[in-house]
Chain A
Amino acid sequence: MDRLSPFDRVRIILRSLFVQVFLNYRTMQGPGCLFSLWPWLKNSEHRKARVARASGYMNGHPVFSAFALGAMLRRLGDGDGEANPREFDQWRESLGGPMGVIGDGLIWERWKPIVFTLGACAVLLTSSITLWWVIAAICLLLYNLPLFLFRGWALVQGFHLGKELLSLSGHPALQPLRKRLDLLAALTAGLVLAVAATRSALPDLPNSVRFAAAFLCVIGLTKLRMSIAISLWIALLVSLATRFFIF
């Protein structure tokens, strides 16, 4: 197999949407990878060995798994899995760290919070169910479109690089991308604070005190390693109690 046709790419991407169905504590996404690559493995004369290689331990961000799927498909097609199974297993297990750390850091910790906080801000500003349809559609498109395009690119890159896939973890675009997303996240945080305060509290003094009390409680208590749920309860109690002590 020298290249991935557009049909192959779409098929792997669609199957990779189920990569977490078999998620378990022993092999994590491994069986999901097997499911994603099954159409390309089932008719192989080395099927048994290739199934064993594809289904072993693998864990990463579901979107970034596209890298691993492309690289695994290439290496399995080249016969690396049968030639040196131990090396293949070690290589596959080593993919999990970078695929997880980079993927989680970019998508779970940055992209998703930014997109859906902006969505929440837009809903707060408009408070209209008619506009909510537009906001929801934009949020879903903004979140998913880049990720689906990324999956396609990652699959091809993984297939192209094969064993050398890990060299991508030091890609020069990663650091600037993180910095830009951090900047956007900080601006979004400023926006959400301002929108939440103006829509619920300002300029009314009692409500502003309630807002500030809850805000400071959650910030302070989570710094003390309390969960958001516990912090929320305490913040709400403190905030509502201001009525008796201040006003």
Chain B
Amino acid sequence: METFWAALAGMIVYLDTTAIAQIMICQPIIACPLWGVLVGRPEIGLFFGVVFQLLWLGNLQIGAAKFTEGNIGAFVATVLASVVPPQSNGEPAWIVIALALAVGVIVAQFGCELAPLVRRVVGRIVPAYVAAAADGKTKTARNYFLLAVTIHLLAGFLFSLTSLAAGHLTFRFVLGDFYLAGISESTAVATQEILAGLWPALLGAGSAAAILILVRRATRVTFLVASLIFLSAGLLWIA
């Protein structure tokens, strides 16, 4: 049942990304922690919210260009990681985080084809919508508008649902049949040491992705000076 609600929420993420309003509730830093709060795993939401926000910052929905569905990918990763109970210390196992991250990135890549497909389908009803408007048939035109909205809703819902189902199958394949009850202590311990390095690696990759979109040739010096000042302040703060 949680998968159904998650697919509905994924549908809203999809709608806000390109089709309706674009008020940015779809952004990972908003959608992922919100889901985390709803299911009682805020730490998972905050983790994926920050990581995917930085990673997909340069993912621009410009014109007719294909773009990675990074927002849905981030959301799917959060949902998947939050279904596995935490370890005895209250923290999620790194193997779960790594697996959810992998699924999230793959879902985002597959999502490249979603918006073009929806645009082609919507394109088929556009002539009928324009003809109805030209004839002054307000009710018919409204119905075509609702049909177009429904196509977007269905696309977002089905893509989220399929991604979540594929994610659950992947979890089951890697973590075993009873992953929903928690992963075994031996699996967690065996992978913990190497995967604990994921956090600095992900933030290193994320900050690089953010810098690539934020820094221009003309502002490189400003960026370097700002980095040095902020890094010094950070080190002083730690000390």
Residue of chain B at shortest CB distance from A24:
B123
CB–CB A113/B214 < 8 A: yes
Distance from B52 Cβ to chain A, minimum over Cβ atoms (Å): 10
The binding surface of chain B is classed by DSSP as helix
Distance from B1 Cβ to chain A, minimum over Cβ atoms (Å): 24
Q: Is B141 an interface residue (CB 8 A)?
A: yes
Q: Is B3 an interface residue (CB 8 A)?
A: no
Interface residues of B in 3-38 (CB under 8 A from A): 18-25, 27, 29-30, 33-34, 36-37
Given that A144-B24, A210-B197 are known contacts, is A182 also in contact with B219, CB under 8 Å in the complex?
yes
CB–CB B29/A198 < 8 A: no
CB–CB B130/A55 < 8 A: yes
The stretch of B77-85, B131-139, B163-171, B182-190 that contacts the partner chain: B131-139
The binding surface of chain A is classed by DSSP as helix
Interface centre among B22, B55, B120 (most CB of A within 10 A): B22
Interface residues of A in 38-64 (CB under 8 A from B): 38, 41-42, 47-48, 51-52, 55, 59, 62
CB–CB A215/B205 < 8 A: yes
Given that A144-B24, A185-B215 are known contacts, is A190 also in contact with B119, CB under 8 Å in the complex?
no
List the B side residues contacting A127 at CB < 8 Å. Answer: 46
CB–CB B204/A59 < 8 A: no
The CA of A222 and the CA of B212, in the complex, are separated in Å by: 9
Residue of chain B at shortest CB distance from A117:
B210
CB–CB A190/B200 < 8 A: no
Q: Is B195 an interface residue (CB 8 A)?
A: yes
Report the contact-size class of chain B (Cβ under 8 Å from the partner).
35 or more
Residue of chain A at shortest CB distance from B222:
A186
CB–CB A201/B56 < 8 A: no
Q: Is A27 an interface residue (CB 8 A)?
A: yes
Given that A189-B211, A240-B201 are known contacts, is A23 also in contact with B119, CB under 8 Å in the complex?
yes
Interface residues of B in 147-171 (CB under 8 A from A): 148-149, 152
List the B side residues contacting A191 at CB < 8 Å. Answer: 226, 230
The stretch of A153-161, A165-173, A225-233 that contacts the partner chain: A225-233
The CA of A192 and the CA of B54, in the complex, are separated in Å by: 9
Q: Is A17 an interface residue (CB 8 A)?
A: yes
Interface residues of B in 47-74 (CB under 8 A from A): 49-50, 53-64, 68
Q: Is A70 an interface residue (CB 8 A)?
A: no
CB–CB A214/B24 < 8 A: no
Interface residues of A in 178-225 (CB under 8 A from B): 182-183, 185-203, 206-208, 210-219, 222
Residue of chain A at shortest CB distance from B51:
A120
Residue of chain B at shortest CB distance from A49:
B134
Q: Is B231 an interface residue (CB 8 A)?
A: yes
List the B side residues contacting A31 at CB < 8 Å. Answer: 126, 129-130
The CA of A186 and the CA of B234, in the complex, are separated in Å by: 18
The CA of A211 and the CA of B70, in the complex, are separated in Å by: 22
Given that A108-B62, A229-B105 are known contacts, is A129 also in contact with B46, CB under 8 Å in the complex?
yes
Q: Is B122 an interface residue (CB 8 A)?
A: yes
List the A side residues contacting B130 at CB < 8 Å. Answer: 31, 34, 51-52, 55
Q: Is B181 an interface residue (CB 8 A)?
A: no
The CA of A192 and the CA of B105, in the complex, are separated in Å by: 22
Contacts A228-B209, A229-B109 aside, 14 further interface pairs with beta carbons under 8 A come to: A20-B18, A21-B148, A28-B63, A42-B136, A47-B134, A52-B130, A62-B22, A117-B214, A129-B45, A190-B227, A192-B210, A196-B203, A197-B204, A207-B200
Residues of chain B whose beta carbon lies under 8 Å from any beta carbon of chain A: 18-25, 27, 29-30, 33-34, 36-37, 42-43, 45-46, 49-50, 53-64, 68, 105, 108-109, 116, 119-120, 122-123, 126, 129-130, 133-136, 138, 141, 145, 148-149, 152, 194-195, 197-216, 218-220, 222-231, 233-235, 237-238
